[in-house]
């Protein structure tokens, strides 16, 4: 085996460690394809998810940048070079950052160049930018695909597929997931779904353009890209369903000896509830996707009402369908989906706060009961997205009530995390900075959701920029910040080096300031009545003229936000090879994931771990060290 200093990449690290097959029965030498591409090891799969998701996040961000150009300069020819050149430059830098040797960095560098090429294609051509000016139809494609890509190809695969896969088996003391081959199938299903979404940009008529919500009847009569969206979603849902079965069985069945449910790290609880949401909420969307596919391809009228007239021509379908039916089936998934977006983030923030306050989390029991209650309630609030569909007052009251009730566990969780800071010895590490910023950002996101959950104010705010501001606050400076925190936090466990702290702090502060300038103005525009999904950003509205200048503010802020992500990208790839070396537990953490070698070998633990205590035994009075790992035996023979 090559000596440690010559090893290139985290994937290689992890896969190479598979050579350490101590207790493992089969001492095979796995070839390249079985080791890196079709691996069944949860750590390799987790990294595959992570790299793929980060690339999709970056691509989704680029789509948003193009949209923001249009919103700031509607009707003007696009200066595409401001998007393409930086992307190409990043590609070149990343390509060469590890030297001239085949490596992950080279592959990613090439993919960045590929993305730059894709953006060049998307910002040119008469079907999208005749004379350099964006067509409204193309703006709609950007809107629909930005949302779809960020949610389904970016945040969830990163939060669940990457962090969940890599960390959960380690934190519960398991050798792998319960069904490793199924895990591999999940990743490749995600990959195929993502590829389908990307390819849809190239079909005649372009990608899906009916919003990420694909409301009928517009989506039924939309161009071919919508059919590809449906097919892509079927692959993504399959990936998700198989993954959620895997996670639940793993967490329930493969916990180490002594690891009772109430000794689980909060991160694992969050992933468990998330998996139940994915398991039971996705199938109705799969059913709806099948029905919409039938409408588009087989001429059925599940969602097409009678007497529909399109461009002056009456549709020749049987009719009798219900557009509202689509909304019910869609939102039945999409509401629990937003909790899928936030729960892994809450879990990550919990771990990092406990670790960097050197104290147990405050209210562990409240956190656990709240997250379970939250998961349950998330299934019966969905029609708060449908208050304006002609709902009667009784059913409207029902959904307003459940929606108000669901805010209670969210507040309990946020409060517990904040109280955890009280009296703490806070270490302002880079992960902690992101975790701390998460708290008020999630708070703003959550609070701005309250008027949306009550029908009367929602009449004014529905489908305005206020909504966009609300959900972006929760997902962008909310979840995404938590995910960044997680990357900085677990990087040393995967790579054996820490990311550079100064660059990390620059990334943090720049992103934190810029991101607020991107999303705070949206509340103002929304309250002034600017609708969402307008290709000209409200220019045609007489009542919006006073807030149009904010489009320029937000677009510049978005560009600045993008620039600060370059700092992260460079830091990430630089640190892979040249970061400061770290030992196996550089953060002095208590949970089992930090009690393994770095990187963890195939099978994770050399001997089956036994757990003797809870997950956050920091600063226990009378103990020499300010932290006690979960699996460290008591000197006086404590029972497990």
Partner 1 sequence: MQIPYTVTPRSDTGLFNGKLGIWLFLASEVMLFGALFSSYVLLRTGAPTWPRGWEELNIPLATLNTAILITSSVTMVMSWASLMMKDFNKFRRYMGSTILLAFGFLVVKAFEYGHKFELGHFPSTSNFFAVYFTMTGLHGLHVIGGIVVNSYLLGPGSKMWNTEPERFTNRVEIAGLYWHFVDLVWIFLFPSLYLL
Partner 2 sequence: MSDSSQSAEHDIDIKKHVRIYIIVFVTLLALTLITVAVSYLHLSIVPAVTVALVIATVKASLVACYFMHLISEKKLIYISLSFTAVFFIALMFLPLWHMSDNLTH
Question: Where on the chain is the footprint of partner 2 (CB under 8 A)?
Answer: 252, 276, 280-281, 284, 324-325, 328, 332, 376, 379-380, 383, 386, 389-395, 398
Identify which of 286, 291, 175 has the alpha carbon closest to the alpha carbon of residue 239: 286
**211/284 with CB nearer partner 2:** 284
Q: What angle do CA 86, 149, 537 make, to 5 degrees?
A: 75
Q: Does 284 bind partner 1 (CB under 8 A)?
A: yes
Q: Which is nearer to partner 1, 24 or 460 (CB)?
A: 24
Shortest gap between Cβ of 396 and partner 2 (angstroms)?
A: 8
Residue of 139, 152, 235, 282 interacting with partner 1 (CB under 8 A): 282
**Does the protein bind partner 1 through residue 301 (CB under 8 A)?**
yes
Query: How far, CA to CA in Å, does 573 sit from each of 9, 95, 517, 532, 562?
Result: 9, 9, 28, 37, 17
Rounded CA separation 241/243 (Å): 5
Of the residues 51, 281, 461, 475, which one makes contact with partner 1 according to CB under 8 A: 281
* 540 contact, one of partner 2, partner 1, none, CB 5-8 Å limit per kind: none
Least spacing, CB of residue 187 vs partner 2, in Å: 25
**DSSP H/E element including 498:** strand 497-498
Q: Which two tokens stand for residue 446?
A: 């959550």
d(CA 496, CA 599): 7
**Is 394 exposed, middle or buried (CB count within 10 Å of its CB: 0-12, 13-18, 19+)?**
exposed
| Backbone angles phi and psi of 299, in degrees to 5 | 75, 20
Per-residue x/- track, 176-215, partner 1 (CB under 8 A) = x-xxx-----------------------------------
175's contact among partner 1, partner 2, none, with CB below 5 to 8 A by partner kind, is partner 1
Closest among 501, 514, 346, 487 to 430, alpha carbons compared: 501
Q: Which is nearer to partner 1, 146 or 385 (CB)?
A: 385
The least CB distance from residue 102 to partner 1, in Å, is: 32
CB 169 to partner 1: min, Å = 10
CA distances from 626 to 355, 589, 639 (A): 11, 10, 21
Q: Do 607 and 41 form a contact (C-beta atoms < 8 A)?
A: no
Binding partner 1 by CB under 8 A: which of 190, 266, 302, 481? 302
Interaction of residue 262 with partner 1, rule CB under 8 A = no
Contacts of 474 (CB under 8 A, 6+ apart): 338, 341, 342, 442, 445, 446, 449
Residue 298's binding partner among partner 1, partner 2, none (Cβ under 5 to 8 angstroms by kind) is partner 1
Residue whose CB is less far from partner 1, 109 or 173: 173
Q: Which of 181, 193, 210 is nearest to 157 (CA)?
A: 193
Which CB sits closer to partner 1, 67 or 289? 289
Q: Quick one: 179 or 398, whose CB is closer to partner 1?
A: 179
Give Cβ neighbours of residue 50 (< 8 Å, ≥ 6 apart).
158, 161, 162, 163, 166
| Site stretch for partner 1 (CB under 8 A), options 109-117, 238-246, 364-372, 387-395 | 238-246
What 3-state class would DSSP assign to 145?
helix
> What does 89 interact with, of partner 2, partner 1, none (CB < 5 to 8 A by kind)?
none
Decide if residue 325 touches partner 1 (CB under 8 A).
Answer: yes
179 contact, one of partner 2, partner 1, none, CB 5-8 Å limit per kind:
partner 1
Per CB under 8 A, which of residues 6..65 are in contact with partner 1? 23-25
**CB closer to partner 1, 224 vs 300:** 300
**Nearest one of 452, 364, 475, 482 to 412, comparing CA atoms:** 364
Phi, psi (degrees; rounded to nearest 5) at 41: -80, 130
Give the position of tokens 């943090």.
Answer: 508
Of 399 and 488, nearer to partner 2 (C-beta) is 399
x/- mask, partner 1, residues 241-260, rule CB under 8 A, reads x--xxx-xx--xxx------
> Does residue 395 interact with partner 1 by CB under 8 A?
no
User: Shortest distance, CB of residue 487 to partner 1, whole angstroms?
Assistant: 27
Per CB under 8 A, 318 contacts partner 1? yes
Neighbours of 441 (CB within 10 A): 25
The listed partner (partner 2, partner 1, none) that binds 517, CB under 5 to 8 Å by sort, is none
Q: What one-character-per-residue DSSP string does 12-73 give?
A: HHHHHGGG--SS-S------HIIIIIS---HHHHHHHHHHHHHHHHHHHHHHHHHHHHHHHS
178 binds, among partner 2, partner 1, none (CB under 5 to 8 A by kind): partner 1
Interaction between residue 280 and partner 1 (CB under 8 A)? yes
- Let me know: does 134 contact 569? Beta carbons within 8 Å: no
The residue ranges that bind partner 1 (CB under 8 A) are 23-25, 174-176, 178-180, 241, 244-246, 248-249, 252-254, 279-284, 286-288, 290-291, 294, 298-302, 317-318, 320-322, 325, 328-329, 332, 603-605, 607-608
């Amino acid at each position: 085996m090559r000596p440690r200093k010559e090893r290139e990449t985290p994937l290689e690290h992890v896969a190479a460690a598979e050579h350490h097959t101590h207790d493992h029965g089969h001492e095979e030498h796995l070839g390249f394809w079985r080791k890196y591409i079709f691996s069944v090891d949860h750590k390799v799969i987790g990294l595959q998810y992570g790299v793929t998701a980060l690339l999709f996040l970056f691509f989704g961000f680029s789509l948003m940048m193009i949209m923001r150009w249009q919103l700031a300069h509607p009707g003007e020819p696009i200066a595409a070079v401001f998007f393409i050149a930086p992307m190409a430059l990043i590609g070149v830098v990343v390509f060469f950052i590890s030297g001239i040797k085949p490596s992950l960095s080279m592959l990613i560098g090439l993919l960045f160049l590929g993305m730059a090429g894709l953006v060049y294609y998307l910002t040119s051509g008469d079907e999208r930018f005749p004379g350099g000016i964006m067509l409204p139809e193309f703006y709609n494609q950007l809107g629909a695909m930005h949302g779809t890509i960020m949610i389904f190809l970016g945040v969830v695969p990163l939060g669940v597929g990457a962090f969940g896969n890599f960390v959960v088996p380690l934190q519960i003391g398991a050798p792998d997931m319960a069904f490793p081959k199924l895990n591999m199938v999940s990743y490749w299903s995600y990959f195929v779904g993502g590829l389908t979404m990307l390819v849809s940009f190239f079909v005649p008529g372009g990608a899906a353009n009916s919003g990420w919500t694909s409301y009928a009847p517009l989506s039924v009569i939309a161009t071919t890209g919508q059919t590809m969206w449906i097919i892509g979603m079927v692959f993504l849902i399959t990936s998700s369903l198989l993954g959620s079965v895997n996670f639940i069985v793993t967490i329930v069945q493969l916990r180490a000896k002594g690891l009772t449910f109430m000794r689980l790290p909060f991160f694992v609880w969050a992933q468990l509830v998330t998996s139940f949401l994915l398991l039971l909420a996705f199938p109705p969307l799969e059913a709806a996707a099948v029905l919409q596919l039938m409408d588009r391809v087989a001429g059925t009228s599940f969602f097409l009402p009678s007497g529909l007239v399109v461009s002056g021509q009456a549709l020749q379908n049987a009719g009798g369908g219900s557009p509202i039916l689509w909304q019910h089936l869609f939102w039945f998934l999409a509401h629990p989906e937003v909790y899928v977006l936030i729960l892994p983030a809450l879990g990550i923030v919990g771990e990092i706060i406990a670790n960097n306050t050197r104290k147990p989390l405050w209210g562990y029991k409240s956190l656990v009961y709240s997250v379970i209650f939250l998961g349950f309630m998330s299934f019966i609030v969905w029609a708060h997205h449908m208050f304006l569909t002609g709902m009667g007052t009784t059913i409207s009251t029902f959904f307003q009530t459940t929606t108000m009730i669901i805010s209670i566990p969210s507040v309990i969780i946020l409060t517990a995390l904040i109280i955890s800071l009280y009296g703490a010895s806070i270490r302002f590490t880079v992960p902690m900075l992101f975790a701390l910023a998460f708290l008020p950002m999630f708070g703003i996101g959550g609070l701005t959701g309250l008027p949306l959950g009550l029908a009367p104010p929602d009449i004014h705010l529905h489908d305005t920029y206020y909504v966009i501001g609300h959900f972006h606050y929760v997902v962008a400076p909310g979840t995404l910040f938590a995910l960044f925190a997680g990357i900085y936090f677990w990087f040393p466990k995967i790579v054996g080096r820490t990311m550079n702290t100064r660059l990390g702090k620059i990334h943090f502060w720049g992103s934190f300031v810029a991101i607020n300038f991107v999303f705070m103005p949206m509340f103002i525009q929304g309250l002034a009545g600017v609708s969402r999904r307008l290709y000209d950003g409200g220019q045609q509205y007489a009542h919006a003229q006073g807030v149009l200048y904010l489009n320029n503010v937000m677009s510049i802020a978005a560009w600045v936000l993008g620039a600060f992500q370059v700092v992260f990208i460079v830091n990430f790839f630089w640190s892979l090879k040249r970061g400061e070396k770290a030992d196996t537990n550089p953060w002095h953490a208590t949970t089992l994931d930090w009690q393994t070698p770095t990187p963890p070998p195939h099978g994770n633990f050399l001997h089956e771990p036994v757990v003797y205590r809870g997950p956050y035994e920091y600063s226990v009075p009378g103990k020499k060290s300010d932290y006690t790992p979960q699996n460290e035996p008591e000197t006086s023979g404590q029972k497990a």
